[in-house]
Structure 1
């Protein structure tokens, strides 16, 4: 009793009441509960932030797996080809020059690029002297014909009179001889006239066959003769050819009649042709043989120019892929295929001909593999990808 009285007295002396102490303790409990709540909210906030970060990291990792286009390799028969460059020329390049005695050129009737017919006049040579000589010979023929006619008439009269004894047989034989001589002289005169006309006709420079005029090296006023050289060059029928050099391994598969595609330098559209001759020998120095490809006339084909040719040499088994699917480095050619678990696998291959249709793979693929068609240059073996199939190739 004394103790409680003393405590109450002390509290009262300190200016505090018992109710005030209870209120202080209540406030402490409130502050402690509020602190615990704030701590719980802080923990929840940290947990939520970590969860979102983790989900984003997982999503980013999934987003890093690239989509790649793949195709299923299909094995089959592939056209084998041999290709190379060579020069263009006329298949039959006919030089045209003077065939007669020549003279001064009066006119030239054609230009390079013109089509001509066999026997068509290309150039005319002056012939005034030959014309007069021919006229004189023609007159001589008429004289010889008149003499022959007179001798024939004399012979006819002599035969009528020989039976009456007015003319002897010796005179009759003389008339026959005169008649024969006159006929012979007529034939000689006719032959000389024909020769003169033929000589005069040879003064014209004529096309030896149907074809395309390639070059002209004569002008009016120029004096030409048999030693003047080539005046024109004509491609028979306008046909061209390409002389393609192939190595001994490739030329062994080329046969006459094989098809070919020739693209002149600077042109974009190829010209279809046919192999018409394969060289029976191989040059011992270059180890190459020559293939001659017959080509129809085309304005893009110019003799002397270069062209690229692709010749079909048959078929072989293999896989045809687009060029983007085949990669190469210091180790050789290879492709990427998608294996188990969508992992990229490097596969070495041996390639054949490269054509507009793609690259032929003759070794390394058996068919059925999922080959990466594009973006192979950005991948490495072991990468995980998302394959997107496009079809079979």
Structure 2
């Protein structure tokens, strides 16, 4: 081997060693982001349906044939409007009969008050006169018997006459008392009047039951009756949605129930009118969990006027704001790795070309990002990849950054969304 060849080999070995050293010492590029303040919004997405707070079924309380149905499905009715009319000829005849019965009972009572009482009073006065005469005759007879002018038989006859007159007077007095207001005849006549009036009230009520009216201002949802049908009590003929604040009822997965609170704002959308969102807020949270669905019922009410396109039982998409920060230091959840479940975690930063670990305290979190309350400052560069290890050289590549997703309808740069359990 000549000297020139040996020199070339030495130079080649030196170049290879230098290349190997440069390769092993080169800092790898790792995806990273610069921490800065930005809005953060956590939302919860689920479905709901439109429901009136009051829905009633209208039915008959008696058996009868339908004469008229005055409303159609979708019609609006006012309180007291006649909805269904049953045939009422027989009921009207029963009412007329009850009215006649009342008049008859009242006439009997009036007669008892006038002529009947006068006749009984006259009978009493006559009986008292006869009794007075019998007593005088008995006294005179007793005196004559004492003088032996008449026999004892005559005294017995006078005593019997006096006893009969006393009984007649007592009977007339009893008759008068019976005709008095507290007497049996008077009470009986009054009872007959009351019974006739009760029969009249029952007949009037049954006649009124033949007319089915709207209990309040409402909209007809379902019509299940036609003229000529025979209806019976217990069968729903019409279904009405009473005019009342519209409620939106949804089911939220029980895993997220801790995020839902009364008064929270929501944006509602109907699939057929997606470009016409409207606002609502949480009014009610069920105190129990539906065991079959594993969900909690949530009711919302509109924050403004009712949109014209809303229909009963319409399905809506709900975007409920469950947490919001106007400005917060936000890091992507992927930067926390497996530690993202607690209130504290550790992130890795790029400082002076090397990986450094930093403990942070966490706040509001979404599926994509987490608010950092303590441990980071604006301008810090955090690594988005779990490698390389702490202490190794690293080159932070912040070109990709971290794009926070936008809520539907928000402007650019708005808060990130947390789409959960629809």
TM tier, smaller: 0.5 to 0.7
Matched, 1:182 2:143: no
Alignment equivalent of 1:145, drawn from 103, 106, 110? 106
Superposed, 1:241-256 pairs within 5 Å as 241-256=247-262
Structure having the higher Rg: 1
Structure 2 Cα separation of the partners of residues 303 and 197 of structure 1: 37
How many matched pairs?
276
Q: 1:212 touches 1:238 (CA, 8 Å); kept in 2?
A: no
Structure 1 Cα separation of the partners of residues 103 and 316 of structure 2: 63
Residues 1:298 and 1:112: Cα distance change in structure 2 (over 3 Å): farther
Superposed, 1:1-393 pairs within 5 Å as 75=37, 78-98=40-60, 100-154=61-115, 156-157=117-118, 161=122, 162=124, 165=128, 168-176=172-180, 177-227=184-234, 229-267=235-273, 268-283=275-290, 286-295=293-302, 297-316=306-325, 318=327, 345-348=399-402, 351=404, 354-358=407-411, 359-361=414-416
Q: 1:319 touches 1:362 (CA, 8 Å); kept in 2?
A: no
Structure 2 Cα separation of the partners of residues 156 and 74 of structure 1: 107
Residues 1:95 and 1:239: Cα distance change in structure 2 (over 3 Å): farther
For 1:142-188, what per-residue CA distance to the aligned partner results, in whole angstroms no more than 9, with x for missing partners?
Answer: 11111111111146536865568477311202323222211210111
Q: 2:41 touches 2:416 (CA, 8 Å); kept in 1?
A: no
* Larger RCO: 1 or 2 (CA < 8 Å, sep 6+): 2
SS at match of 1:95: strand
Structure 2 Cα separation of the partners of residues 115 and 360 of structure 1: 43
Report what 1:18 is aligned to. Answer: none
Q: 1:240 touches 1:301 (CA, 8 Å); kept in 2?
A: no
SS at match of 1:309: strand
Q: 1:92 touches 1:239 (CA, 8 Å); kept in 2?
A: no
Structure 2: tracts of 5 or more residues without a match:
1-33, 130-168, 338-366, 370-378, 382-396
TM-score, normalised with respect to structure 1: 0.60
Q: 1:114 touches 1:212 (CA, 8 Å); kept in 2?
A: yes
Give 1:362 shift.
9.0
Give 1:93 shift.
1.7
Question: What is the RMSD computed on CA atoms of the aligned residues?
Answer: 3.7
TM-score, normalised with respect to structure 2: 0.56
Residues 1:187 and 1:286: Cα distance change in structure 2 (over 3 Å): closer
Give 1:211 shift.
2.0
Give 1:76 shift.
5.9
Structure 2 Cα separation of the partners of residues 260 and 344 of structure 1: 35
Report what 2:359 is aligned to. Answer: none
Residues 1:286 and 1:219: Cα distance change in structure 2 (over 3 Å): closer
SS at match of 1:252: helix
Structure 1: tracts of 5 or more residues without a match:
1-71, 364-393
Q: 1:96 touches 1:233 (CA, 8 Å); kept in 2?
A: yes
Q: 2:406 touches 2:417 (CA, 8 Å); kept in 1?
A: no
Give 1:118 shift.
3.5
SS at match of 1:269: strand
Structure 2 Cα separation of the partners of residues 316 and 251 of structure 1: 20
Residues 1:157 and 1:298: Cα distance change in structure 2 (over 3 Å): farther
Give 1:220 shift.
1.4
For 1:35-89, what per-residue CA distance to the aligned partner results, in whole angstroms no more than 9, with x for missing partners?
Answer: xxxxxxxxxxxxxxxxxxxxxxxxxxxxxxxxxxxxx997366554322223323
